[in-house]
A and B are shown apart, each in its own frame.
Chain A
Amino acid sequence: DVKVTQSSRYLVKRTGEKVFLECVQDMDHENMFWYRQDPGLGLRLIYFSYDVKMKEKGDIPEGYSVSREKKERFSLILESASTNQTSMYLCASSPESSGGAKIPQETQYFGPGTRLLVL
């Protein structure tokens, strides 16, 4: 059974603080993703990684950075948190696609989410 965990379920931070959101998967998946989920906007891809030390921008990378030093761990970093980054953050992982696409066309397994409030 695939397990994707996120370091916190709830976080409260102040504007300007540096925030780290950690995601760990235990299935040796090559690909990992960070999304944010906002009411009425669905899921929006922030960044993804298809290999260790590799990262690609998604649709809304501004204000975020990521780190993938180890295969099982993908970190989302808010260098200077702002109130418009208050959201639910979802991490996901998936196995490598045989099709060669960097965004794999395989099932994504999601973590439980981190609800971040920036004051």
Chain B
Amino acid sequence: GENVEQHPSTLSVQEGDSAVIKCTYSDSASNYFPWYKQELGKRPQLIIDIRSNVGEKKDQRIAVTLNKTAKHFSLHITETQPEDSAVYFCAASSFNWVNRDDKIIFGKGTRLHILP
């Protein structure tokens, strides 16, 4: 079946450095890619998303890049801060106009630790 691979599963980064989390997807029909951040004991919250007609999107310290040919997309966090410590989930969403087959599949998550 379709799946989303997310790497790494754990990432430790020195405060101030950059962090990169990568996801690959198998469904070539995927056209919407959100990223969610889940802090310990809290609910997931959307931090950034990208659609298939765009190659890159940036929001302050957070950016997402998408390579549709290679079927991978990445989350980039620059100038990391302690509050960036959390679990991050990527997802790939698609819908098929012909058979109305809709999917959203999440990656397994990356636990990001920001070291002081």
Contacts and interface: CB of A to CB of B under 8 A. Distances in A.
Please say whether chains A and B are actual partners in one complex.
yes
Contacts of A43: 36, 44, 89, 91, 106
A100 to B, nearest CB: 8
A105 B107 contact: no
Contacts of B104: 45, 103
A101 B102 contact: yes
Nearest to B87: A42
Given A42-B6, A42-B107, A42-B109, A112 B43 contact: yes
B22 interface: no
Interface string A55-89: 01001000000000000000000000000000000
A6 to B, nearest CB: 10
A110 B100 contact: no
B54 interface: no
Contacts of A90: 43-44
A42 B106 CA distance: 6
A102 B1 CA distance: 20
Contacts of B49: 107
Contacts of A113: 43
Given A108-B46, A110-B43, A111-B43, A103 B108 contact: no
Given A101-B95, A102-B100, A102-B102, A107 B34 contact: yes
Interface string B9-20: 100000000000
Interface residues of A, number: 22
A105 B100 contact: no
A41 interface: yes
Contacts of A99: 95
A111 B93 CA distance: 20
A105 B105 contact: no
Nearest to A41: B108
Contacts of A56: 102
A105 B106 contact: no
Contacts of A29: none
Interface of A: 35, 40-45, 56, 59, 90, 99-103, 105, 107-108, 110-113
A-B CB proximity, top 4 nearest: A101-B95, A105-B32, A103-B102, A110-B43
